[in-house]
């Protein structure tokens, strides 16, 4: 069944528990997010925009489709509008010569609010949940819904990665001193043993679960099952508006663990520490627990991206969560709840984690030695946050001021030279015209880089890195922006070549001098 046939079927079916029609010409309907919230809190559903309540197709303005789609996606990702947020993927179809904008809303394992009000769904439409008992029952129903156990239809072993099964067997066997039941099982039997093959109690459907996909799936398999799946590692110490380095992951949880740990080791120092007579890596001990918690306790039914952000004096992680408690956790008194028991079970078998709740306690145990007088924080809510103080060895404020002052210093040095002044002004005006929406530190870097290339008739990557005092990856990203704007090009051999102005940019500069 193609998209048009499916939409025609919904039109014939009419509105109900999982279908909603709304008129929308050039703006989103005011009650739209009440329906989205209700679908999230009940069984999910499909919304058709450009259709009257009786099923008559009136269409949306084709010229407004892009605006409507952008506003819908932006609002669904705005926690002030919808909390927790949700990823939506609107599409269009032509029905009777008219444009219908439609999108699916998934069933969520969390309780959602729009404009701070909970909505639920019945066959008669959306309704507010204001009664205390009804709210309690809604939370209770959500607590019994586990996203990781969702059966993925048509999933086969060929959609999973054989090398990850080998890795899991090896890790589990090493942890069990050379003997583990998984070492003798086939891939299919291993998945069954780990509880990753189930029968859906509501639909009767049997198959591999979302947890199996997240642990063993190929990248395309994961994204087909969970289009909004991502982990984002960000270094934000000098460029606070964007980033100094980044690793964006949409691969299996085992890959994500490796890459997140590598990101931590790349950017964080590891102070010397003896636990008794044994050398212990405080950095690895602490952030191993942080990363495992980020992976194992994330609510995968939410579209909120999981993030690990390294700042100058702390590391922040954020992930969607099913809320059992609101506010800071006391590591000595909190009661841990399993968010994804099947994933956690595999992690325990391969040695990534110990018993439930041990990660928070282990972090609290070693944090005083890592950053004396600065303790870790664990803040539970719809978005779970972990804040880990880190040792500070650099003056990031001074480095940022130096970065922002580069262009000013260049202008001061060239005050007596009209040609240099004209070149500086051309670089400044060009960057401001092309990148009017970017932050000031980035503008300052682009200004300086473009000025140096123009003034020196070309510059190597090393010369630009030394002049602007940025990381290699940041300089490459900046140069790519200038190349995309057709301001510079690369000339010469890969190892000895230089970045030079394009002919178009040179003509623009010459017209100013």
Q: CB–CB of 129/135 below 8 Å?
A: yes
- C-alpha distances (whole Å) from 180 to each of 160, 171, 331 are 22, 10, 32
If we measure between CA atoms, which residue out of 460, 459, 455, 505 comes closest to residue 484? Answer: 505
The answer to whether residues 32 and 131 belong to one domain is yes
In tens, the pLDDT along 323-363 reads 766 788 887 776 666 678 889 889 988 988 876 667 888 89
> What's the pLDDT at 1?
60
pLDDT band at 455 (very low <50, low <70, confident <90, very high): confident
Average pLDDT of the segment spanning 452-479 = 83
In tens, the pLDDT along 206-220 reads 899 999 999 999 999
CATH label of the domain that carries residue 258: 3.30.565.60
> What's the pLDDT at 410?
47
Q: CB–CB of 46/104 below 8 Å?
A: yes
The answer to whether residues 47 and 17 belong to one domain is yes
Average pLDDT of the segment spanning 363-368 = 91
Q: Is 454 a residue whose pLDDT tops 80?
A: yes
The answer to whether residues 496 and 461 belong to one domain is yes
CATH label of the domain that carries residue 53: 3.30.950.30
Q: CB–CB of 87/303 below 8 Å?
A: yes
> What's the pLDDT at 355?
67
Q: CB–CB of 160/218 below 8 Å?
A: yes
The answer to whether residues 168 and 141 belong to one domain is no
The answer to whether residues 91 and 20 belong to one domain is yes
The answer to whether residues 217 and 243 belong to one domain is no
The answer to whether residues 268 and 237 belong to one domain is yes
DSSP three-state, residue 16: strand
> What's the pLDDT at 221?
94
pLDDT band at 407 (very low <50, low <70, confident <90, very high): very low
CATH label of the domain that carries residue 473: 1.10.10.10
In a domain, 484, yes or no: yes
Q: Is 123 a residue whose pLDDT tops 50?
A: yes
In a domain, 345, yes or no: no
Alpha helices in 199-331 (DSSP H): 210-216, 219-225, 253-267, 282-296
The answer to whether residues 221 and 122 belong to one domain is no
Q: Which residue has the higher pLDDT, 367 or 140?
A: 367
What are the backbone dihedrals phi and psi of residue 41, each rounded to the nearest 5 degrees, phi first? -80, -15
**What kind and span of H or E run contains 33?**
helix 32-41
> What's the pLDDT at 414?
44
Q: CB–CB of 180/349 below 8 Å?
A: yes
Q: CB–CB of 352/257 below 8 Å?
A: yes
In a domain, 152, yes or no: no
Q: Which residue has the higher pLDDT, 408 or 106?
A: 106
Q: Is 143 a residue whose pLDDT tops 80?
A: no
In tens, the pLDDT along 292-313 reads 999 998 988 877 889 999 999 9
Q: Is 379 a residue whose pLDDT tops 60?
A: yes
In a domain, 344, yes or no: no
Across the chain, mean pLDDT equals: 85
If we measure between CA atoms, which residue out of 140, 142, 91, 114 comes closest to residue 35? Answer: 114
Q: Is 369 a residue whose pLDDT tops 80?
A: yes
**What kind and span of H or E run contains 245?**
strand 245-249
Q: Among 172, 195, 225, where does a domain finish?
A: 225
pLDDT band at 189 (very low <50, low <70, confident <90, very high): very high
What are the backbone dihedrals phi and psi of residue 259, each rounded to the nearest 5 degrees, phi first? -75, -35
Share of the chain above pLDDT 90, in %: 39
The answer to whether residues 402 and 324 belong to one domain is no
In a domain, 410, yes or no: yes
> What's the pLDDT at 161?
96
**Residues whose CB falls within 8 Å of the CB of residue 495, separated by 6 or more in sequence, listed in order:** none
Q: Is 150 exposed, middle or buried (0-12, 13-18, 19+ CB in 10 A)?
A: buried
The answer to whether residues 110 and 80 belong to one domain is yes
> What's the pLDDT at 32?
96
> What's the pLDDT at 76?
86
This prediction has a pTM of 0.61
Q: Which residue has the higher pLDDT, 9 or 240?
A: 9
Domain that holds residue 102: 3-145
The two three-digit tokens of residue 249, written as one number: 């992951």
What are the backbone dihedrals phi and psi of residue 74, each rounded to the nearest 5 degrees, phi first? -65, -45
Q: Among 184, 209, 225, where does a domain finish?
A: 225
> What's the pLDDT at 461?
87
In a domain, 472, yes or no: yes
In tens, the pLDDT along 90-115 reads 999 999 899 999 998 877 777 889 99
Q: CB–CB of 121/42 below 8 Å?
A: yes
pLDDT band at 141 (very low <50, low <70, confident <90, very high): confident
Q: State the total domains in the chain.
A: 4
pLDDT band at 23 (very low <50, low <70, confident <90, very high): very high
> What's the pLDDT at 198?
85
The answer to whether residues 238 and 371 belong to one domain is yes
If we measure between CA atoms, which residue out of 462, 450, 446 comes closest to residue 489? Answer: 450
pLDDT band at 462 (very low <50, low <70, confident <90, very high): confident
**What kind and span of H or E run contains 130?**
none
The answer to whether residues 501 and 475 belong to one domain is yes
Q: Is 202 a residue whose pLDDT tops 80?
A: no
> What's the pLDDT at 166?
95
Q: Among 175, 202, 225, where does a domain finish?
A: 225
């Amino acid at each position: 069944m193609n998209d048009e046939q499916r939409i025609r079927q919904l039109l014939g079916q009419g509105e109900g528990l999982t279908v909603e029609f709304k008129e929308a010409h050039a703006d989103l309907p005011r009650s739209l997010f009440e329906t989205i919230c209700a679908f999230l809190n009940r069984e999910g559903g499909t919304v058709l925009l450009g259709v009257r309540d009786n099923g008559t197709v009136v269409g949306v303005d084709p010229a407004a489709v892009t605006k409507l789609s952008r506003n819908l996606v932006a609002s669904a990702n705005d926690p002030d509008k919808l909390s927790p947020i949700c990823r939506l993927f609107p599409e269009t179809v032509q029905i009777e010569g008219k444009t219908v904008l439609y999108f699916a809303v998934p069933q969520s394992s969390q309780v959602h609010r729009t404009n701070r009000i909970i909505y639920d769904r019945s066959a008669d439409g959306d309704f507010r949940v204001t009664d205390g008992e009804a709210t309690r029952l809604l939370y209770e129903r959500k607590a019994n819904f586990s996203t990781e156990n969702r059966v993925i239809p048509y999933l086969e072993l060929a959609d999973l990665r054989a090398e990850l099964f080998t890795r899991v067997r090896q890790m589990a066997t090493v942890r069990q001193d050379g003997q583990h039941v998984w070492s003798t099982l086939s891939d299919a039997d291993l998945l069954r043993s780990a509880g990753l093959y189930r029968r859906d109690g509501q639909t009767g459907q049997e198959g591999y679960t979302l947890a199996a996909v997240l642990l063993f799936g190929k990248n395309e398999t994961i994204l087909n099952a969970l289009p909004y799946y991502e982990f984002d590692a960000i270094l934000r110490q000098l460029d606070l508006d964007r980033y100094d380095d980044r690793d964006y992951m949409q691969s299996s949880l085992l890959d994500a663990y490796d890459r997140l740990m590598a990101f931590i080791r790349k950017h964080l120092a590891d102070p010397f520490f003896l636990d008794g007579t044994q050398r212990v890596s405080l950095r690895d001990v602490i952030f191993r627990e942080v990363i495992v918690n980020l992976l194992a306790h994330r609510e995968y039914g939410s579209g909120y991206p999981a993030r690990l952000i390294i700042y100058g004096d702390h590391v922040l992680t954020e992930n969607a969560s099913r809320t059992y408690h609101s506010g800071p956790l006391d590591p000595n008194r909190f009661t841990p709840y399993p968010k994804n028991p099947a994933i956690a079970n595999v992690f325990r078998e391969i040695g990534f984690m110990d018993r439930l709740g041990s990660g928070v306690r282990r972090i609290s145990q070693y944090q005083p030695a890592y950053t004396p007088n600065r303790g870790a924080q664990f803040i539970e809510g719809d978005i779970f946050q972990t804040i880990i103080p880190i040792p500070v060895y650099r003056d990031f404020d001074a480095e940022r001021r130096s970065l922002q002052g580069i262009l000013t210093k260049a202008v001061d040095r060239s005050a007596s030279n009209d040609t240099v002044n004209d070149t500086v002004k051309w670089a400044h005006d060009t960057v401001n015209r092309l990148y009017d929406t970017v932050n000031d530190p980035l503008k300052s870097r682009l200004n300086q880089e473009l000025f140096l290339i123009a003034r020196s008739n070309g510059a190597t990557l090393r010369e630009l890195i030394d002049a602007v005092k940025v990381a290699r990856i940041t300089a490459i990203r900046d140069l790519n922006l200038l190349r995309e704007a057709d301001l510079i090009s690369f000339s010469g051999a890969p190892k000895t070549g230089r970045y030079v102005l394009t002919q178009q940019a040179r003509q623009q500069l010459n017209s100013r001098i």
